[in-house]
Amino acid sequence: MAVYIVMEVQVINQKKYNQYMSEFSNIITNYGGRCLADEGNIKHLDQEIRLERRQPERMVILEFPCEVSLRKCLASPEYRSLSELRLAGASTRTRMIQGYKPKKV
């Protein structure tokens, strides 16, 4: 089952963030991943919901074919070598969400 990574991003250093995303994009494809969204133009649809003080500058959504592929990617030497660049480029909150599997009735 597909899994999705949803990241809230606050860019600290645009140059380092761009370098990280460029290299990261190449790595995730090796593990069957792909970037579905990487955008800073966020629109809030539910006006009645009280928003948190921290508003993300960008949202990134990634898709992997399964959790095993995602875990292999994150544990890979090539990804681990990018960790300092990621920390220098952005502050992030990252979550994994399982894909939807309809229940049989």
Distance of alpha carbon 16 from alpha carbon 24, whole angstroms = 12
With beta carbons less than 8 A apart as the criterion, state whether 81 and 18 touch: no
Element (H, E) at 62: strand 58-64
> What string of pLDDT tens digits covers the 105 residues of the chain?
999 999 989 999 999 989 998 898 889 999 999 999 887 777 766 666 665 556 778 889 999 999 999 999 999 999 999 988 989 999 989 999 998 888 887
Which two structure tokens, joined as six digits, stand for 17? 């963030």
Distance of alpha carbon 35 from alpha carbon 60, whole angstroms = 8
Which two structure tokens, joined as six digits, stand for 105? 């009735």
